[in-house]
Structure 1
């Protein structure tokens, strides 16, 4: 499986709401760099993050474009997050079922065919504007 295949599998699992399949794409010592947040290490912390996100947001990624280097150790993706804000997240505006559409991107490191680091970026100010 190529780096692009692994990233595609990860995003397909995300869009299906299949956290177990997402975890299967990850190295056990994954470093998850969250936009505007702390680095989470390990699949346990990643699973906790996914549970929280599933409660507060329903999201689907579209217009996904995946890039990878020649040796399969680094990759990146650009995409659009199409979401609904379901439950108020701490420190953010009140959730009332607002929808949003937000450009975003992720950077990946891969080790032995699994994602060992993921860094995701989006414009939080734009998201707040859309849901306020």
Structure 2
């Protein structure tokens, strides 16, 4: 089961990096839980789609130096990576965007159910990101 979890998260990030939002969202359960970095919790694929629409409008990102781990049961996984990004459009409550580039270490934790991502929790240092784009 561990290998299936690793493969799922690899597909998840490959779809993200390719900008293939349909494939990306197909890897989520309908009731996916999304814990937003230093923010709230959203539930459901429509909320996650809206979040990703905003992210894709405001930022251009590629994830590199990916390390993926999973437990033996295959129901929990984690990833550590570096976000290479460009801040395209000002996001509400954040500094003004003018194409600033950033490099940000990040991580994510996953619950997996029935071969899909049922929860994703992302972590990165928001103060570091603000310093890089301010």
TM-score, normalised to structure 2, is 0.97
* Unaligned stretches of 5+ residues in structure 2: none
Deviation at 1:36, TM superposition (A): 1.9
Matching residue of 1:43: 45
Q: Which residue of 2 aligns with 1:58?
A: 60
- Residue 75 of structure 2 is matched in structure 1 by 73
Deviation at 1:18, TM superposition (A): 1.1
Return 5+ residue gaps in structure 1 as ranges: none
- Report the counterpart of residue 5 of structure 2 in structure 1: 3
Secondary structure of 2:111 counterpart: strand
Whole-angstrom distance in 2 between the partners of 1:90 and 1:18: 25
SS for the counterpart of 1:9 is: helix
Please state how far the C-alpha of 1:121 moved relative to its aligned partner. 0.2
Aligned to 1:102: 104
Question: 1:18 & 1:34 partners in 2: Cα distance?
Answer: 21
Q: How many residues align?
A: 132
Matching residue of 1:26: 28
Report the alpha carbon displacement of residue 92 of structure 1 after superposing the two structures with TM: 0.4
Output the TM-score relative to the length of structure 1.
0.98
Backbone CA RMSD of aligned residues: 0.8
Provide the rounded CA distance (Å) in 2 between the counterparts of 1:22 and 1:84.
20
**Where in structure 1 do 4 or more consecutive aligned residues deviate above 2 Å?**
none
- 1:102 Cα deviation from its structure 2 partner: 0.2
Deviates more, 1:60-69 or 1:16-25: 16-25
